[in-house]
Chains A and B, each alone.
Chain A
Amino acid sequence: MYAIEVENLVKKYGDFEAVKGISFKVKKGEIFAFLGPNGAGKTTTVHVLTTLLKLTSGRAIVAGHDVVKEPMEVRKRIGIVFQDPSLDRELTAYENMYIHGRIYGLGGNELKNKIMQLLKFVELWEFKDKPVKYFSGGMQRRLEIARALLHEPEVLFLDEPTIGLDPQTRSHIWEYIKTMKEEHDMTIFLTTHYMDEAEQLADRIAIMDHGKIIAEGTADELKKIVGNDVIYLKLEALEDVKCLKAEFIRGCKILPDGRVRLEVVNAAEALPKIFDLAKEQNVKIIEVTYHRPTLNDVFLYLTGREIRDEGETNTLASRIRVRMRR
Protein backbone atom coordinates (compact mmCIF):
# COMPACT_ATOMS: atom_id res chain seq x y z
CA MET A 1 0.00 0.00 0.00
CA TYR A 2 1.30 3.42 -0.94
CA ALA A 3 0.96 6.71 0.89
CA ILE A 4 1.96 8.77 -2.12
CA GLU A 5 1.65 7.85 -5.80
CA VAL A 6 2.78 10.29 -8.45
CA GLU A 7 2.59 9.73 -12.20
CA ASN A 8 4.12 12.02 -14.81
CA LEU A 9 3.71 15.09 -12.68
CA VAL A 10 4.37 18.31 -14.57
CA LYS A 11 4.24 21.79 -13.06
CA LYS A 12 4.82 24.90 -15.12
CA TYR A 13 5.13 28.48 -13.94
CA GLY A 14 4.08 30.31 -17.08
CA ASP A 15 6.38 28.87 -19.74
CA PHE A 16 8.96 27.60 -17.29
CA GLU A 17 8.71 23.90 -16.47
CA ALA A 18 9.78 23.57 -12.84
CA VAL A 19 8.80 19.88 -12.57
CA LYS A 20 9.22 17.90 -15.77
CA GLY A 21 7.10 14.78 -15.54
CA ILE A 22 8.21 12.88 -12.45
CA SER A 23 6.83 9.55 -11.20
CA PHE A 24 7.44 7.88 -7.86
CA LYS A 25 5.73 5.99 -5.08
CA VAL A 26 6.17 6.24 -1.34
CA LYS A 27 5.24 3.26 0.83
CA LYS A 28 3.23 3.66 3.99
CA GLY A 29 5.41 4.13 7.04
CA GLU A 30 8.47 5.00 5.02
CA ILE A 31 10.73 8.05 5.13
CA PHE A 32 11.24 9.12 1.55
CA ALA A 33 13.60 11.93 0.65
CA PHE A 34 13.97 14.22 -2.33
CA LEU A 35 17.62 15.15 -2.50
CA GLY A 36 18.69 17.85 -4.89
CA PRO A 37 20.29 21.24 -5.27
CA ASN A 38 18.50 24.53 -5.09
CA GLY A 39 15.95 25.05 -7.82
CA ALA A 40 15.59 21.34 -8.53
CA GLY A 41 11.82 21.55 -8.08
CA LYS A 42 11.51 19.99 -4.62
CA THR A 43 9.40 22.69 -3.03
CA THR A 44 7.21 22.94 -6.11
CA THR A 45 6.51 19.20 -5.86
CA VAL A 46 5.70 19.49 -2.16
CA HIS A 47 3.28 22.34 -2.81
CA VAL A 48 1.51 20.34 -5.51
CA LEU A 49 1.26 17.29 -3.25
CA THR A 50 -0.12 19.40 -0.41
CA THR A 51 -2.81 20.95 -2.66
CA LEU A 52 -1.32 24.44 -2.51
CA LEU A 53 -0.40 24.58 -6.17
CA LYS A 54 -2.38 23.22 -9.10
CA LEU A 55 -0.47 20.71 -11.18
CA THR A 56 -0.16 21.34 -14.91
CA SER A 57 -0.55 17.69 -15.89
CA GLY A 58 -0.14 14.21 -14.46
CA ARG A 59 -1.65 12.59 -11.44
CA ALA A 60 -0.91 12.63 -7.72
CA ILE A 61 -2.56 10.52 -5.02
CA VAL A 62 -1.75 11.39 -1.41
CA ALA A 63 -3.09 9.33 1.52
CA GLY A 64 -5.48 7.62 -0.87
CA HIS A 65 -6.99 10.74 -2.42
CA ASP A 66 -6.39 12.65 -5.61
CA VAL A 67 -4.88 16.07 -4.90
CA VAL A 68 -6.85 17.68 -7.71
CA LYS A 69 -10.22 16.02 -7.26
CA GLU A 70 -10.36 15.74 -3.48
CA PRO A 71 -8.07 18.39 -2.03
CA MET A 72 -10.07 18.58 1.20
CA GLU A 73 -9.67 14.85 1.86
CA VAL A 74 -5.94 15.17 1.26
CA ARG A 75 -5.66 18.21 3.56
CA LYS A 76 -7.29 16.31 6.41
CA ARG A 77 -4.64 13.62 6.25
CA ILE A 78 -1.43 15.57 5.84
CA GLY A 79 0.81 17.76 7.91
CA ILE A 80 3.49 20.04 6.57
CA VAL A 81 6.52 21.98 7.68
CA PHE A 82 7.17 24.55 4.98
CA GLN A 83 10.63 25.53 3.81
CA ASP A 84 9.93 29.17 4.66
CA PRO A 85 8.56 30.24 8.05
CA SER A 86 4.80 29.96 8.49
CA LEU A 87 4.13 30.83 12.13
CA ASP A 88 2.13 33.76 13.42
CA ARG A 89 5.00 35.74 14.89
CA GLU A 90 2.84 38.00 17.00
CA LEU A 91 1.28 35.09 18.87
CA THR A 92 2.85 32.79 21.44
CA ALA A 93 3.92 29.21 20.85
CA TYR A 94 0.86 27.98 22.70
CA GLU A 95 -1.51 30.20 20.73
CA ASN A 96 -0.02 29.04 17.45
CA MET A 97 -0.62 25.44 18.50
CA TYR A 98 -4.09 26.22 19.80
CA ILE A 99 -5.23 27.94 16.62
CA HIS A 100 -3.90 25.11 14.50
CA GLY A 101 -5.68 22.56 16.64
CA ARG A 102 -8.97 24.43 16.46
CA ILE A 103 -8.80 24.78 12.69
CA TYR A 104 -8.16 21.04 12.42
CA GLY A 105 -11.22 20.26 14.51
CA LEU A 106 -9.62 19.55 17.89
CA GLY A 107 -10.75 21.12 21.12
CA GLY A 108 -11.21 20.89 24.86
CA ASN A 109 -8.93 18.92 27.13
CA GLU A 110 -7.85 16.64 24.34
CA LEU A 111 -6.32 19.61 22.54
CA LYS A 112 -4.74 21.00 25.69
CA ASN A 113 -3.11 17.70 26.53
CA LYS A 114 -1.80 17.21 23.03
CA ILE A 115 -0.32 20.68 22.92
CA MET A 116 1.44 20.03 26.21
CA GLN A 117 2.70 16.66 25.08
CA LEU A 118 4.04 17.97 21.77
CA LEU A 119 5.57 21.15 23.15
CA LYS A 120 7.36 18.95 25.66
CA PHE A 121 8.45 16.62 22.88
CA VAL A 122 10.18 19.46 21.02
CA GLU A 123 11.39 20.96 24.31
CA LEU A 124 9.52 24.23 24.05
CA TRP A 125 7.05 23.82 26.90
CA GLU A 126 8.84 26.31 29.12
CA PHE A 127 8.63 28.91 26.34
CA LYS A 128 4.99 28.30 25.55
CA ASP A 129 3.85 31.81 26.48
CA LYS A 130 6.56 33.65 24.59
CA PRO A 131 5.65 35.38 21.31
CA VAL A 132 7.20 33.50 18.44
CA LYS A 133 9.02 36.56 17.11
CA TYR A 134 11.47 36.19 20.00
CA PHE A 135 12.29 32.57 19.07
CA SER A 136 15.54 31.52 17.40
CA GLY A 137 15.37 29.85 14.00
CA GLY A 138 15.79 26.42 15.57
CA MET A 139 13.03 27.02 18.11
CA GLN A 140 10.67 28.18 15.38
CA ARG A 141 11.43 25.06 13.37
CA ARG A 142 10.74 22.83 16.36
CA LEU A 143 7.46 24.60 16.96
CA GLU A 144 6.50 24.11 13.33
CA ILE A 145 7.23 20.41 13.64
CA ALA A 146 5.13 20.14 16.80
CA ARG A 147 2.33 22.02 15.09
CA ALA A 148 2.39 19.76 12.05
CA LEU A 149 2.03 16.73 14.33
CA LEU A 150 -0.88 18.09 16.34
CA HIS A 151 -3.64 16.60 14.19
CA GLU A 152 -1.78 13.28 13.76
CA PRO A 153 -1.36 13.34 10.00
CA GLU A 154 -0.98 10.13 8.02
CA VAL A 155 1.61 11.72 5.77
CA LEU A 156 4.02 14.38 6.98
CA PHE A 157 5.82 16.69 4.55
CA LEU A 158 9.06 18.28 5.70
CA ASP A 159 10.46 20.77 3.19
CA GLU A 160 14.13 21.31 4.04
CA PRO A 161 13.50 20.87 7.76
CA THR A 162 16.98 21.89 8.86
CA ILE A 163 17.89 24.51 6.29
CA GLY A 164 20.02 27.25 7.76
CA LEU A 165 20.25 25.68 11.22
CA ASP A 166 23.41 24.98 13.18
CA PRO A 167 24.73 21.39 13.29
CA GLN A 168 23.61 20.76 16.85
CA THR A 169 20.04 21.85 16.20
CA ARG A 170 20.04 19.81 13.00
CA SER A 171 20.94 16.56 14.72
CA HIS A 172 18.38 17.41 17.37
CA ILE A 173 15.68 17.70 14.75
CA TRP A 174 16.84 14.47 13.15
CA GLU A 175 16.24 12.75 16.47
CA TYR A 176 12.67 14.08 16.58
CA ILE A 177 12.02 12.85 13.06
CA LYS A 178 13.32 9.38 13.83
CA THR A 179 11.27 9.19 17.00
CA MET A 180 8.17 10.32 15.14
CA LYS A 181 8.57 7.62 12.57
CA GLU A 182 9.10 4.92 15.15
CA GLU A 183 6.35 5.92 17.52
CA HIS A 184 3.64 6.88 15.09
CA ASP A 185 4.38 4.76 12.06
CA MET A 186 3.99 7.89 10.01
CA THR A 187 4.89 8.29 6.36
CA ILE A 188 7.36 11.11 5.98
CA PHE A 189 8.17 12.92 2.75
CA LEU A 190 11.31 14.95 3.18
CA THR A 191 13.17 17.28 0.89
CA THR A 192 16.72 18.36 1.47
CA HIS A 193 19.88 19.50 -0.22
CA TYR A 194 21.99 18.04 2.59
CA MET A 195 23.36 14.59 1.73
CA ASP A 196 23.93 13.66 5.33
CA GLU A 197 20.32 14.45 6.13
CA ALA A 198 18.96 12.24 3.38
CA GLU A 199 21.33 9.48 4.41
CA GLN A 200 20.61 9.73 8.12
CA LEU A 201 16.87 9.76 7.82
CA ALA A 202 15.58 8.32 4.59
CA ASP A 203 14.65 4.75 3.82
CA ARG A 204 14.66 5.65 0.17
CA ILE A 205 16.01 8.64 -1.70
CA ALA A 206 15.11 10.19 -5.04
CA ILE A 207 17.81 12.44 -6.44
CA MET A 208 16.29 15.38 -8.22
CA ASP A 209 17.85 17.83 -10.62
CA HIS A 210 16.35 20.38 -12.99
CA GLY A 211 12.81 19.15 -12.42
CA LYS A 212 13.58 15.47 -13.00
CA ILE A 213 14.26 12.46 -10.82
CA ILE A 214 17.60 11.19 -12.03
CA ALA A 215 18.01 8.25 -9.64
CA GLU A 216 16.05 6.53 -6.93
CA GLY A 217 16.76 3.89 -4.29
CA THR A 218 18.21 3.32 -0.85
CA ALA A 219 21.42 5.18 -0.07
CA ASP A 220 23.36 1.94 -0.62
CA GLU A 221 21.69 1.24 -3.92
CA LEU A 222 22.42 4.75 -5.12
CA LYS A 223 26.06 4.48 -4.15
CA LYS A 224 26.38 1.31 -6.13
CA ILE A 225 25.74 3.37 -9.23
CA VAL A 226 29.18 4.85 -8.70
CA GLY A 227 30.92 1.70 -7.58
CA ASN A 228 31.94 -0.41 -4.64
CA ASP A 229 33.22 0.60 -1.24
CA VAL A 230 36.98 0.63 -1.00
CA ILE A 231 38.91 -0.75 1.97
CA TYR A 232 42.62 -0.16 2.58
CA LEU A 233 44.48 -2.56 4.85
CA LYS A 234 47.95 -2.03 6.27
CA LEU A 235 49.45 -5.31 7.31
CA GLU A 236 52.22 -6.04 9.79
CA ALA A 237 54.20 -7.98 7.25
CA LEU A 238 55.32 -5.60 4.56
CA GLU A 239 56.88 -8.19 2.28
CA ASP A 240 55.22 -11.02 0.53
CA VAL A 241 51.76 -9.50 0.93
CA LYS A 242 49.08 -11.55 -0.71
CA CYS A 243 45.59 -10.73 -1.76
CA LEU A 244 42.74 -11.87 0.44
CA LYS A 245 40.29 -14.04 -1.42
CA ALA A 246 36.63 -14.52 -0.70
CA GLU A 247 33.46 -14.31 -2.74
CA PHE A 248 32.37 -11.02 -1.12
CA ILE A 249 35.61 -9.38 -2.22
CA ARG A 250 35.00 -7.87 -5.63
CA GLY A 251 38.51 -6.74 -6.30
CA CYS A 252 41.93 -6.77 -4.69
CA LYS A 253 45.16 -4.99 -5.44
CA ILE A 254 48.47 -4.61 -3.68
CA LEU A 255 49.52 -1.00 -3.67
CA PRO A 256 53.15 0.09 -4.18
CA ASP A 257 53.36 1.16 -0.54
CA GLY A 258 52.41 -2.34 0.54
CA ARG A 259 48.82 -1.63 1.48
CA VAL A 260 46.03 -3.87 0.27
CA ARG A 261 43.16 -2.25 -1.59
CA LEU A 262 39.91 -4.23 -1.52
CA GLU A 263 36.64 -3.48 -3.26
CA VAL A 264 33.48 -4.66 -1.55
CA VAL A 265 29.79 -3.88 -1.89
CA ASN A 266 29.36 -2.80 1.68
CA ALA A 267 32.42 -2.06 3.76
CA ALA A 268 30.54 -2.03 7.04
CA GLU A 269 29.39 -5.60 6.51
CA ALA A 270 32.64 -6.78 4.95
CA LEU A 271 35.05 -5.59 7.62
CA PRO A 272 34.22 -8.19 10.30
CA LYS A 273 34.52 -10.91 7.69
CA ILE A 274 37.87 -9.56 6.63
CA PHE A 275 39.13 -9.67 10.21
CA ASP A 276 37.97 -13.27 10.48
CA LEU A 277 39.64 -14.11 7.20
CA ALA A 278 42.88 -12.45 8.29
CA LYS A 279 42.87 -14.42 11.51
CA GLU A 280 42.35 -17.70 9.67
CA GLN A 281 45.25 -16.96 7.36
CA ASN A 282 47.44 -15.65 10.18
CA VAL A 283 47.73 -12.17 8.70
CA LYS A 284 47.99 -9.34 11.14
CA ILE A 285 46.17 -6.11 10.27
CA ILE A 286 47.54 -2.98 11.90
CA GLU A 287 45.47 -0.28 10.20
CA VAL A 288 42.19 -0.11 8.33
CA THR A 289 40.70 2.76 6.38
CA TYR A 290 37.79 2.66 4.05
CA HIS A 291 36.06 4.98 1.68
CA ARG A 292 32.43 4.76 0.76
CA PRO A 293 31.14 6.65 -2.23
CA THR A 294 29.01 9.51 -0.93
CA LEU A 295 25.71 10.67 -2.37
CA ASN A 296 27.66 13.63 -3.60
CA ASP A 297 29.79 11.22 -5.65
CA VAL A 298 26.56 9.82 -7.04
CA PHE A 299 25.26 13.25 -7.96
CA LEU A 300 28.63 14.14 -9.46
CA TYR A 301 28.63 10.92 -11.45
CA LEU A 302 25.12 11.52 -12.80
CA THR A 303 25.24 15.25 -13.50
CA GLY A 304 28.88 16.26 -13.61
CA ARG A 305 28.15 18.81 -10.86
CA GLU A 306 28.21 18.69 -7.09
CA ILE A 307 25.11 19.23 -5.00
CA ARG A 308 27.25 21.49 -2.92
CA ASP A 309 28.13 23.64 -5.93
CA GLU A 310 25.38 25.85 -4.73
CA GLY A 311 25.98 25.92 -1.05
CA GLU A 312 24.80 28.12 1.77
CA THR A 313 25.37 31.44 0.07
CA ASN A 314 23.02 30.49 -2.71
CA THR A 315 20.44 29.28 -0.28
CA LEU A 316 20.46 32.71 1.24
CA ALA A 317 20.26 34.38 -2.14
CA SER A 318 17.30 32.27 -3.16
CA ARG A 319 15.49 33.16 0.03
CA ILE A 320 15.98 36.80 -0.60
CA ARG A 321 14.64 36.27 -4.10
CA VAL A 322 11.58 34.58 -2.66
CA ARG A 323 10.95 37.51 -0.37
CA MET A 324 11.25 39.96 -3.18
CA ARG A 325 8.99 37.98 -5.46
CA ARG A 326 6.12 38.17 -3.05
Chain B
Amino acid sequence: MRALTTMAYRQLKRFIRARSRVVGMIINPLIWLVFFGLGWSKVFDNPIARSIFGGVDYLTFLAPGIFAMTIFNQSFIGGVSVIWDKQFGFLKEVLVAPASRKEGILGRILGDSLVTLTQGMIILLLTFLLAENLKPSGILPALGIGFLLAVAFSGFGVSLALRMESMEGFQMIMMVLMLPLIFLSGAMYPIDTMPSWMKALAYINPLTYAVDGTRHFLVGESVTKFALTTDVGVLALLAVFLVGIAMLEFEKATIG
Protein backbone atom coordinates (compact mmCIF):
# COMPACT_ATOMS: atom_id res chain seq x y z
CA MET B 1 0.00 0.00 0.00
CA ARG B 2 2.94 2.31 0.60
CA ALA B 3 3.80 2.78 -3.05
CA LEU B 4 0.15 3.35 -3.85
CA THR B 5 -0.51 6.01 -1.23
CA THR B 6 2.83 7.71 -1.80
CA MET B 7 2.36 8.06 -5.53
CA ALA B 8 -1.23 9.24 -5.10
CA TYR B 9 0.05 11.76 -2.55
CA ARG B 10 2.65 12.98 -4.99
CA GLN B 11 0.15 13.56 -7.79
CA LEU B 12 -2.12 15.50 -5.44
CA LYS B 13 0.80 17.57 -4.14
CA ARG B 14 1.83 18.46 -7.65
CA PHE B 15 -1.70 19.51 -8.45
CA ILE B 16 -1.90 21.75 -5.41
CA ARG B 17 1.48 23.30 -6.34
CA ALA B 18 0.26 24.04 -9.84
CA ARG B 19 -3.15 25.45 -8.91
CA SER B 20 -2.77 28.29 -11.34
CA ARG B 21 -2.83 25.80 -14.19
CA VAL B 22 -6.33 24.70 -13.22
CA VAL B 23 -7.70 27.78 -14.88
CA GLY B 24 -5.99 26.82 -18.13
CA MET B 25 -7.37 23.31 -17.93
CA ILE B 26 -11.01 24.23 -17.55
CA ILE B 27 -10.98 26.97 -20.12
CA ASN B 28 -11.53 24.63 -23.05
CA PRO B 29 -14.70 22.94 -21.75
CA LEU B 30 -15.88 26.33 -20.58
CA ILE B 31 -15.64 27.68 -24.12
CA TRP B 32 -17.73 24.77 -25.33
CA LEU B 33 -20.24 25.26 -22.59
CA VAL B 34 -20.70 28.96 -23.16
CA PHE B 35 -20.11 29.62 -26.84
CA PHE B 36 -21.41 26.34 -28.15
CA GLY B 37 -23.99 25.41 -25.53
CA LEU B 38 -25.42 28.80 -24.71
CA GLY B 39 -25.40 29.78 -28.37
CA TRP B 40 -27.34 26.76 -29.61
CA SER B 41 -29.63 26.75 -26.60
CA LYS B 42 -31.32 29.86 -28.00
CA VAL B 43 -31.76 28.22 -31.42
CA PHE B 44 -33.22 25.10 -29.84
CA ASP B 45 -35.52 27.00 -27.54
CA ASN B 46 -38.76 25.68 -29.12
CA PRO B 47 -41.06 22.68 -28.48
CA ILE B 48 -39.91 20.66 -31.52
CA ALA B 49 -36.26 20.90 -30.63
CA ARG B 50 -37.00 20.17 -27.01
CA SER B 51 -38.71 16.94 -27.98
CA ILE B 52 -35.57 15.89 -29.88
CA PHE B 53 -33.45 16.53 -26.80
CA GLY B 54 -35.68 14.50 -24.51
CA GLY B 55 -37.88 17.35 -23.42
CA VAL B 56 -35.18 19.43 -21.73
CA ASP B 57 -33.42 22.64 -22.73
CA TYR B 58 -30.26 22.24 -24.79
CA LEU B 59 -27.78 23.29 -22.09
CA THR B 60 -29.19 20.67 -19.77
CA PHE B 61 -28.88 18.11 -22.52
CA LEU B 62 -25.30 19.17 -23.22
CA ALA B 63 -24.07 19.49 -19.62
CA PRO B 64 -23.17 15.81 -19.05
CA GLY B 65 -21.19 15.90 -22.29
CA ILE B 66 -19.16 18.90 -21.14
CA PHE B 67 -18.50 17.15 -17.85
CA ALA B 68 -17.31 14.01 -19.64
CA MET B 69 -15.18 16.10 -22.00
CA THR B 70 -13.45 17.79 -19.09
CA ILE B 71 -12.65 14.43 -17.51
CA PHE B 72 -11.40 13.05 -20.81
CA ASN B 73 -9.11 16.06 -21.40
CA GLN B 74 -7.71 16.14 -17.94
CA SER B 75 -7.05 12.39 -17.83
CA PHE B 76 -4.72 12.78 -20.77
CA ILE B 77 -2.88 15.56 -19.00
CA GLY B 78 -2.04 12.88 -16.44
CA GLY B 79 -0.46 10.92 -19.27
CA VAL B 80 1.55 13.97 -20.29
CA SER B 81 2.97 14.09 -16.77
CA VAL B 82 4.39 10.60 -17.30
CA ILE B 83 6.29 11.93 -20.31
CA TRP B 84 7.49 14.86 -18.21
CA ASP B 85 8.73 12.42 -15.61
CA LYS B 86 10.64 10.66 -18.35
CA GLN B 87 12.19 13.89 -19.56
CA PHE B 88 12.97 15.38 -16.18
CA GLY B 89 14.24 12.04 -14.93
CA PHE B 90 11.91 11.41 -11.99
CA LEU B 91 10.78 8.19 -13.66
CA LYS B 92 14.24 6.68 -13.02
CA GLU B 93 13.87 7.40 -9.33
CA VAL B 94 10.59 5.48 -9.33
CA LEU B 95 11.89 2.60 -11.43
CA VAL B 96 14.92 2.00 -9.22
CA ALA B 97 12.87 1.91 -6.02
CA PRO B 98 12.26 -1.41 -4.24
CA ALA B 99 8.50 -0.94 -4.27
CA SER B 100 5.73 -2.63 -6.17
CA ARG B 101 5.53 -0.93 -9.53
CA LYS B 102 1.98 -2.11 -10.08
CA GLU B 103 0.92 -0.46 -6.87
CA GLY B 104 2.88 2.68 -7.62
CA ILE B 105 1.29 3.21 -11.01
CA LEU B 106 -2.13 2.40 -9.61
CA GLY B 107 -1.59 5.06 -6.95
CA ARG B 108 -0.55 7.49 -9.60
CA ILE B 109 -3.67 6.75 -11.66
CA LEU B 110 -5.93 7.11 -8.62
CA GLY B 111 -4.23 10.36 -7.60
CA ASP B 112 -4.57 11.73 -11.12
CA SER B 113 -8.21 10.65 -11.20
CA LEU B 114 -8.94 12.59 -8.04
CA VAL B 115 -7.32 15.65 -9.57
CA THR B 116 -9.32 15.11 -12.74
CA LEU B 117 -12.49 14.77 -10.76
CA THR B 118 -11.84 18.06 -9.01
CA GLN B 119 -11.66 19.79 -12.38
CA GLY B 120 -14.81 17.99 -13.50
CA MET B 121 -16.59 19.14 -10.40
CA ILE B 122 -15.63 22.75 -10.98
CA ILE B 123 -17.04 22.59 -14.50
CA LEU B 124 -20.15 20.84 -13.28
CA LEU B 125 -20.83 23.53 -10.71
CA LEU B 126 -20.33 26.24 -13.32
CA THR B 127 -22.76 24.40 -15.58
CA PHE B 128 -25.37 24.56 -12.86
CA LEU B 129 -25.24 28.35 -13.09
CA LEU B 130 -26.30 28.24 -16.74
CA ALA B 131 -28.52 25.22 -17.29
CA GLU B 132 -32.03 25.26 -15.85
CA ASN B 133 -33.10 21.68 -15.37
CA LEU B 134 -30.14 19.89 -13.79
CA LYS B 135 -30.77 17.97 -10.58
CA PRO B 136 -28.45 18.97 -7.70
CA SER B 137 -29.09 15.60 -6.09
CA GLY B 138 -27.37 14.01 -9.09
CA ILE B 139 -23.99 15.68 -8.51
CA LEU B 140 -22.48 13.08 -6.21
CA PRO B 141 -23.44 10.00 -8.23
CA ALA B 142 -22.42 11.82 -11.41
CA LEU B 143 -19.00 12.32 -9.86
CA GLY B 144 -18.92 8.57 -9.31
CA ILE B 145 -19.44 7.99 -13.03
CA GLY B 146 -16.82 10.65 -13.72
CA PHE B 147 -14.36 8.83 -11.48
CA LEU B 148 -14.76 5.59 -13.41
CA LEU B 149 -14.18 7.43 -16.65
CA ALA B 150 -11.18 9.25 -15.18
CA VAL B 151 -9.59 6.01 -13.99
CA ALA B 152 -10.16 4.35 -17.37
CA PHE B 153 -8.65 7.18 -19.39
CA SER B 154 -5.79 7.83 -16.95
CA GLY B 155 -4.89 4.18 -17.33
CA PHE B 156 -5.00 4.54 -21.10
CA GLY B 157 -2.99 7.78 -20.95
CA VAL B 158 -0.27 6.17 -18.82
CA SER B 159 0.09 3.14 -21.12
CA LEU B 160 0.28 5.40 -24.14
CA ALA B 161 2.74 7.80 -22.51
CA LEU B 162 5.07 4.96 -21.51
CA ARG B 163 5.43 4.12 -25.20
CA MET B 164 5.76 7.69 -26.43
CA GLU B 165 9.01 9.54 -26.70
CA SER B 166 7.76 13.08 -27.18
CA MET B 167 5.17 15.35 -25.73
CA GLU B 168 4.18 16.53 -29.21
CA GLY B 169 3.30 13.06 -30.43
CA PHE B 170 1.25 12.40 -27.35
CA GLN B 171 -0.62 15.66 -27.63
CA MET B 172 -1.34 14.98 -31.25
CA ILE B 173 -2.92 11.63 -30.49
CA MET B 174 -5.00 13.32 -27.87
CA MET B 175 -6.20 16.04 -30.24
CA VAL B 176 -7.00 13.53 -32.95
CA LEU B 177 -9.02 11.38 -30.56
CA MET B 178 -10.81 14.09 -28.71
CA LEU B 179 -13.27 15.63 -31.13
CA PRO B 180 -14.53 12.39 -32.74
CA LEU B 181 -15.00 10.83 -29.31
CA ILE B 182 -16.98 13.83 -28.14
CA PHE B 183 -19.13 14.06 -31.27
CA LEU B 184 -19.77 10.32 -31.26
CA SER B 185 -20.81 10.17 -27.62
CA GLY B 186 -24.34 11.49 -27.90
CA ALA B 187 -23.24 14.49 -25.87
CA MET B 188 -24.27 17.08 -28.49
CA TYR B 189 -27.08 15.35 -30.35
CA PRO B 190 -28.97 12.14 -29.58
CA ILE B 191 -27.49 8.87 -30.80
CA ASP B 192 -30.87 7.81 -32.20
CA THR B 193 -30.79 10.51 -34.87
CA MET B 194 -27.33 9.50 -36.14
CA PRO B 195 -26.81 7.56 -39.39
CA SER B 196 -26.37 3.89 -38.64
CA TRP B 197 -22.56 3.82 -39.24
CA MET B 198 -22.14 6.66 -36.77
CA LYS B 199 -24.41 4.89 -34.36
CA ALA B 200 -22.19 1.83 -34.52
CA LEU B 201 -19.17 3.97 -33.63
CA ALA B 202 -21.11 5.63 -30.82
CA TYR B 203 -21.83 2.22 -29.31
CA ILE B 204 -18.15 1.35 -29.04
CA ASN B 205 -17.21 4.78 -27.70
CA PRO B 206 -16.62 4.68 -23.94
CA LEU B 207 -17.62 8.34 -23.61
CA THR B 208 -21.14 7.38 -24.73
CA TYR B 209 -21.66 5.39 -21.56
CA ALA B 210 -20.18 8.08 -19.37
CA VAL B 211 -22.47 10.71 -20.90
CA ASP B 212 -25.47 8.43 -20.65
CA GLY B 213 -24.71 7.43 -17.07
CA THR B 214 -24.24 11.04 -16.03
CA ARG B 215 -27.58 11.94 -17.63
CA HIS B 216 -29.32 9.33 -15.52
CA PHE B 217 -28.40 11.30 -12.44
CA LEU B 218 -28.24 14.90 -13.60
CA VAL B 219 -31.18 15.02 -16.03
CA GLY B 220 -33.46 12.00 -15.80
CA GLU B 221 -34.51 8.80 -17.51
CA SER B 222 -36.24 10.64 -20.36
CA VAL B 223 -32.94 11.54 -22.06
CA THR B 224 -31.00 8.31 -21.46
CA LYS B 225 -30.49 5.50 -23.89
CA PHE B 226 -29.06 2.62 -21.86
CA ALA B 227 -29.85 1.15 -18.48
CA LEU B 228 -27.76 2.61 -15.67
CA THR B 229 -26.31 -0.83 -14.95
CA THR B 230 -25.11 -1.03 -18.55
CA ASP B 231 -23.40 2.36 -18.30
CA VAL B 232 -21.72 1.59 -14.98
CA GLY B 233 -20.85 -1.95 -16.05
CA VAL B 234 -19.17 -0.88 -19.29
CA LEU B 235 -17.20 1.90 -17.60
CA ALA B 236 -16.12 -0.29 -14.69
CA LEU B 237 -14.96 -3.10 -16.96
CA LEU B 238 -13.11 -0.65 -19.15
CA ALA B 239 -11.45 0.97 -16.15
CA VAL B 240 -10.27 -2.39 -14.80
CA PHE B 241 -9.03 -3.45 -18.21
CA LEU B 242 -7.11 -0.25 -19.03
CA VAL B 243 -5.63 0.08 -15.56
CA GLY B 244 -4.60 -3.57 -15.70
CA ILE B 245 -2.74 -2.94 -18.94
CA ALA B 246 -1.04 0.14 -17.48
CA MET B 247 0.09 -1.90 -14.48
CA LEU B 248 1.55 -4.65 -16.65
CA GLU B 249 3.28 -2.13 -18.90
CA PHE B 250 4.84 -0.31 -16.00
CA GLU B 251 6.04 -3.55 -14.47
CA LYS B 252 8.15 -4.15 -17.57
CA ALA B 253 9.34 -0.58 -18.04
CA THR B 254 13.08 0.07 -18.37
CA ILE B 255 14.88 3.27 -19.20
CA GLY B 256 16.46 4.27 -22.49
Contacts and interface: CB of A to CB of B under 8 A. Distances in A.
Interface of A: 13, 47, 50-54, 72, 75-76, 78, 80, 82, 84-91, 95, 99-100, 102-105, 131, 323, 325-326
13 contacts: A52-B92, A52-B254, A52-B255, A76-B98, A82-B89, A86-B88, A86-B92, A87-B88, A89-B88, A99-B6, A100-B93, A102-B6, A326-B87
Contact of A95 (B13, B86, B88): B13
A54 B92 CA distance: 14
Which DSSP category, helix, strand, loop or mixed, fits chain B's interface?
A: helix
Contact of A53 (B2, B9, B97, B256): B256
Interface string B82-108: 000011111011111111000010000
B10 A99 contact: yes
A248 B5 CA distance: 65
Given A53-B254, A53-B256, A103-B3, A85 B89 contact: yes
Given A102-B6, A103-B2, A103-B3, A50 B89 contact: no
Contacts of A85: 88-89
Given A47-B256, A75-B98, A103-B3, A84 B14 contact: no
B255 A53 contact: yes
B165 interface: yes
Nearest to A72: B98
A82 B88 CA distance: 12
Nearest to A100: B93
Given A103-B94, A105-B98, A326-B86, 17 more contacts: A47-B255, A52-B95, A52-B96, A53-B254, A53-B255, A75-B97, A82-B89, A85-B89, A86-B89, A87-B93, A90-B17, A91-B13, A100-B97, A102-B2, A103-B6, A104-B98, A326-B87
B170 to A, nearest CB: 13
A325 to B, nearest CB: 8
A88 B96 contact: no
B129 interface: no
Contact of B90 (A50, A88, A104, A131): A88
Given A52-B96, A103-B3, A84 B17 contact: no
A8 B3 CA distance: 35
Contacts of B90: 86-88
Contacts of B96: 50-52, 75, 78, 80
A191 B74 CA distance: 41
Contacts of B18: 90
Nearest to B86: A326
Nearest to A71: B98
The winner among A53, A75, A326 for most chain B CB atoms within 10 A is A326
B58 to A, nearest CB: 40
B27 to A, nearest CB: 21
Given A47-B255, A54-B254, A102-B6, A90 B14 contact: yes
A80 B90 CA distance: 13
Nearest to A151: B98
Contact of A91 (B10, B94, B99, B256): B10
A53 B96 CA distance: 10
